[in-house]
Amino acid sequence: MSRTALATIHLGALRRNLARVRERAGKAKVMAVVKADGYGHGLERVARALSDADAFGVASLGDGLRLRAAGIVKRIVVLSGPDEAGDLAELRRLQLDAVIHHESQLAWLESDRDPRSLRVWLKIDTGMHRLGFAPDVARAVHARLRALANIDPDIVLMTHFAASDEFDNALTARQIAAFDDATRDLAGPRALANSAGVLGWAGARNDWVRVGGLLYGLSAIEGKSGPDLGFEPAMTLSTKLVAVNRVARGERVGYAVMFECPEDMPVGVAAIGYGDGYPRSAPSGTPVLVNGVRVAIAGRVSMDLIAIDLRNTADAKVGDRVVLWGSELPVEEIAAHAGTISYDLTCGMTRRVLFVEDEA
């Protein structure tokens, strides 16, 4: 247990981030997106912490089942809808909303004779070109859904932005215009804005916003961290030093001997690696904190361990705390060094990491 990497989940930060989203969203209802195991923070704990959300968004029916089993009674939206006709009965049993985005799903609904009502969200592809009906068939699809007696008539109309994190990219404005044209005079609430949409596109907030990253204090904007945008990181990843060694000038450290000591120096070894989810792609120079002091990785990340250049904190000793990311070291900075995004890192924690909850 003493060697275990810890992911501390700050429940208070989750709640405060939701409150900040509401401030920016105006009158819109807030769907808290908790897919990918709550962006790596833990599906059930995140949903409980965000109990004030108006709905939860999940990627699969299985996640909806987990939330219902955990006692979550709020509205839950399965963002990719049914994967096969047999899913419809389970969606109804669990009282889950289904996003309908493809002709195959529409055909299953039209063939279904289950009298129980199902709430649906109609997804329109305005430029993402991933899931959704083409704008020119939106009215016809909406009419077909409204004609079904076992479909709740209050159909939510939605789309998904491809580049809302680029505030100077005209694509988002074109997507909003395409959505407005496709849904003009159609009854039903509108849902357009994701996290970046909430930040940068006031005209896209409408009746619902779907927010993921911001709730976890993760930035949706390149070059910015969550704190830069006024949101608090909800995860601190930490471990301990398990060794401190003196290594001579000119000696090399780690696999592939990629780091050469420029002088006689202390090198620490911390109990974390890609087996825990820390990115193997993080190069020498990637920052970590030892006892709150900023230092850097030395050499290649291995499965269980990383080496650390301790010249900035020569009094470091075995057992000292090492922070890989958190409020004082934004995960976005680590992601930039590793050539990825913050979402990838928080979602990548493995079962070796011990998750603990902090009410702060």
Whether 210 maps to a domain, the answer reads: yes
H/E element, 56: strand 55-58
Distances (CA, A) of 301 to 110, 163, 254, 275, 321: 53, 32, 8, 10, 18
Range 28-45 average pLDDT: 98
User: Of 219, 250, 276, at which residue does a domain stop?
Assistant: 219
Q: Are residues 57 and 194 in the same domain?
A: yes
pTM above threshold 0.85: yes
- Per-residue model confidence (pLDDT) at position 220: 85
- Per-residue model confidence (pLDDT) at position 346: 98
Q: How far is the first Cα of the chain from the last one, in angstroms, to the nearest whole number? A: 24
Choose the catalytic residue: 27, 39, 74, 255.
255
pLDDT digits (tens, 9 = 90+) for 137-157: 999 999 999 999 999 999 999
Q: Are residues 162 and 257 in the same domain?
A: no
Whether 229 maps to a domain, the answer reads: no
Percent above pLDDT 70 for the chain: 99
Q: How much is the mean pLDDT over the chain?
A: 97
- Per-residue model confidence (pLDDT) at position 335: 98
Catalytic: 35?
yes
Count of structural domains within the chain: 2
Q: Is 18 exposed, middle or buried (0-12, 13-18, 19+ CB in 10 A)?
A: buried
Range 13-21 average pLDDT: 98
Whether 192 maps to a domain, the answer reads: yes
Range 14-28 average pLDDT: 97
- Per-residue model confidence (pLDDT) at position 311: 97
Q: Are residues 209 and 263 in the same domain?
A: no
Residue 317, pLDDT > 80, answer: yes
Residue 1, pLDDT > 80, answer: no
pLDDT digits (tens, 9 = 90+) for 172-181: 999 999 999 9
Choose the catalytic residue: 29, 35, 123, 240.
35
Q: Are residues 196 and 302 in the same domain?
A: no
Catalytic: 255?
yes
User: Of 191, 219, 247, at which residue does a domain stop?
Assistant: 219
| 101: containing domain | 11-219
Percent above pLDDT 90 for the chain: 97
- Per-residue model confidence (pLDDT) at position 2: 62
Q: What is the CATH number of the domain that holds 198?
A: 3.20.20.10
pLDDT digits (tens, 9 = 90+) for 200-229: 999 999 999 999 999 999 998 999 999 999
pLDDT digits (tens, 9 = 90+) for 78-129: 999 999 999 999 999 999 999 999 999 999 999 999 999 999 999 999 999 9
Q: Scan for tokens 């230092």, then name that residue.
A: 295
- 202 DSSP assignment: G
